[in-house]
Amino acid sequence: MAKEIERKFLVASGSWREAADGGTRFRQAYIVTMDDRSARVRLMDDQRAKLTIKIGSGAMTRDEFEYEIPVDDARDMMSKAIGLIIEKTRYKVHHHGFVWEVDVYAGAHEGLVVAEVELGAEGDTPALPNWLGAEVTGDPHYSNQYLSTSPLVSKADHELSYSPF
């Protein structure tokens, strides 16, 4: 069993792009969603697929089980999804010894850009890049599980003042 320990932030500017990789397109859907657990299927660049089970209700830490699955199985599971299929492109940005993942959402959540950093322990204190905005760690409104079943409160609240592309 692996532990997922992460912090999450809104992104305030596009300067992260200078250090970003080429990105990976994700389509993900939830097939089970409860307050303290979820099962999701994720398709990456239409070439690889994973099934992920997350258990726990901590703000920063949850148990995570992740398995490669056949792409056709992932597509079949997505057809049975609860709520929306999340569409986003994930970019990796290295910053002072940590890898930040910047998710640029498309589809129903276009305009939302969120950055996450995975930690080795809850006490880790990564240097925060200057392109970060407000921290939303533990705010359920920014979890992909929530986004799959609920629209943003106000899309305008999350629109960027810059173009993420």
Q: What is the pLDDT of residues 27-78, one digit of tens each?
A: 999 999 988 899 999 999 999 999 999 998 777 788 999 999 999 999 999 9
Mean pLDDT of the chain, nearest integer: 89
- Gap between the Cα atoms of 33 and 156, Å rounded: 27
d(Cα 7, Cα 133) in Å, to the nearest integer?
12
The domains of the chain, with CATH numbers, are 2-158 (2.40.320.10)
Asked if residues 115 and 136 have their Cβ atoms less than 8 Å apart, the reply is no
Residues 112/8, Cβ–Cβ less than 8 Å: no
Confidence of residue 157 (pLDDT cuts 50, 70, 90): low
Which one of the listed residues 30, 91, 105, 142 is annotated catalytic?
A: 30
Model pTM? Answer: 0.88
Continuous H helices in 5-127: 71-78
30 is catalytic: yes
| Residue pLDDT, tens place only, 69-119 | 999 999 999 999 999 999 999 999 999 999 999 999 998 888 899 999 999
